[in-house]
Structure 1
Amino acid sequence: MSAELELRHARVRYGPLEALHGVDLAVAGGAVTVLTGRNGSGRTTVLRALAGTVPLSGGAVAWRGRDVTRLTAHARAALGLALVPDREAVFGSLSVAENLRLAARRAELGPALDTYPELRPLLSRAAGTLSGGEQRMLAVARALLSPAEVLLLDEPAQGMSPTVAARTYALLAALPATVLLAEQSLPAALRSAPRAVVVHELRRGTVVFSGEAAEVAR
């Protein structure tokens, strides 16, 4: 599988602290890639570096072989990348319907509401009044409605019920888009996904394991 996105010797600093220490990481096109690791391992920073919401202090970001390190987050989004962050992933002052319409542009809202029918009775509610799990459903639904070819999602099922979480992972595993998830551990629903699942484990800002989901299961 060819790499859709890559970090090449990437370093990220937050003030005096270095969060990524020369990370080399490839996100395979057409596959599901899962970044695992404890809090503080660098998972979220990898997503932000790829999306362009934090700058690199060293190294590069490549998209299909093209160096996009200097492109802004907005420019990367315009190329076809969507980030679902772990916090503030929806516009709290807008209604659920307005959040979805912003992402859908001219597309119909039906597919997203079919995926998460729990959102249908909440369409007129302000997104900021939803529960944590409901906000995560809305955030993922917005990403699904966007025309993005690459989805970066930071713990997308956080706060969801086990049933809804399993549905979410099954959906992401079936998408034709390239999907990169940040999780504390490999979700059980992805251990037998219908397409390739690649796992990278991070520890203290470095990659300590890269392999297939089956290897993690063993």
Structure 2
Amino acid sequence: MSVEIALRHARVRYGPLEALHGVDLAVPAARLTVLFGRNGAGRTTVLRALAGTVPLAEGRVEWRGADVTRLPAHARARRGLAFVPDQRAVFASLTVAENLALAVPPGTDPERAVTEVYPALRPLLDRRAATLSGGEQRMLAVARALLSPALLVLLDEPSQGMSPETAARTYALLGEAAAGGRTVAVAEQSLPPALRTEASVVHVLRRGAVVFSGEPQELPDESRPAAGPGPWGEPGPRGG
């Protein structure tokens, strides 16, 4: 498998605290990759480092073999990277239609486009994003990424706040995106069964380090729980 984007010996610090400890992690091209670990494990920081929203203290980011460590987030977006953070992923003051219009290619009808992704958003097109529920905002954020022309899509807990049915729909959409040739990387607290089926590669993080990289079927059963003590780490502060 060819590598789309990767961290090489990456260290990230938030003040005196080091969140990533020399992480080496590769995201294969045109595949679905899942990063998971408990809160504080470093999965969110990995996505932020790849997207360029946090700087590296050491190491580098390579995108298709080129060093893009110093490339700012907006420049990475222009090159074809879409990032859905775990918070503030939509423009709250804009309507659903306006949010979508910023992401879809020129000339695309947002109403028609969103129907193909999340039909439940269609009646909400005239609503301001701030008035949506948490699950509806996540749908909008994921829809913006998937309807954009970006070929590299990074999502931090995309199913947060969604109903089980909508979460299943989301995981299916991500699998379809990867099957269609896009590179997708998802960060979750645990590995949902649907992503275990769809993913080509999983990386387990613990306390800012990668403790496992491989195929989903190689994971031990203990990797499934989302909370409580276990072999991959302990509960910590929100995020990671």
Q: TM-score, with normalisation over the residues of structure 2? A: 0.88
Structure-2 residue corresponding to 1:77: 77
CA distance in 2, matches of 1:70, 1:114: 36
1:14-41 CA-to-partner distances (Å, cap 9, x unmatched) read 0000000000000000111000000110
Unmatched 5+ residue regions in structure 2?
222-240
Structure-2 residue corresponding to 1:201: 204
Question: Which of 209, 213, 218 is equivalent to 1:215?
Answer: 218
Question: Which of 178, 183, 186 is equivalent to 1:178?
Answer: 183
The alpha-carbon deviation at position 187 of structure 1 amounts to 1.4
Q: What does 1:1-218 align with in structure 2 at a 5 Å threshold?
A: 1-106=1-106, 107-109=108-110, 110-175=112-177, 176-193=181-198, 197-216=200-219
What is the one-letter code of the residue matched to 2:38?
A: R
Whether the aligned pair in 2 keeps the contact of 1:112 and 1:144 (CA below 8 Å) is: no
Whether the aligned pair in 1 keeps the contact of 2:105 and 2:149 (CA below 8 Å) is: no
Whether the aligned pair in 2 keeps the contact of 1:37 and 1:43 (CA below 8 Å) is: yes
CA distance in 2, matches of 1:9, 1:24: 5
Q: TM-score, with normalisation over the residues of structure 1? A: 0.96
| SS in structure 2 of the partner of residue 209 of structure 1 | strand
Whether the aligned pair in 2 keeps the contact of 1:190 and 1:197 (CA below 8 Å) is: no
| SS in structure 2 of the partner of residue 210 of structure 1 | strand
CA distance in 2, matches of 1:88, 1:192: 29
CA distance in 2, matches of 1:74, 1:94: 20
| SS in structure 1 of the partner of residue 140 of structure 2 | helix
CA RMSD in angstroms comes to 1.1
1:133-172 CA-to-partner distances (Å, cap 9, x unmatched) read 0000000000011110100000001111001100110110
Runs of 4+ in structure 1 over 4 Å off: none
The alpha-carbon deviation at position 212 of structure 1 amounts to 0.6
The count of corresponding residues between Structure 1 and Structure 2 is 216
Identity %, equivalent residues: 70
The alpha-carbon deviation at position 197 of structure 1 amounts to 1.8
The alpha-carbon deviation at position 108 of structure 1 amounts to 2.9
| SS in structure 2 of the partner of residue 8 of structure 1 | strand
| SS in structure 2 of the partner of residue 39 of structure 1 | coil
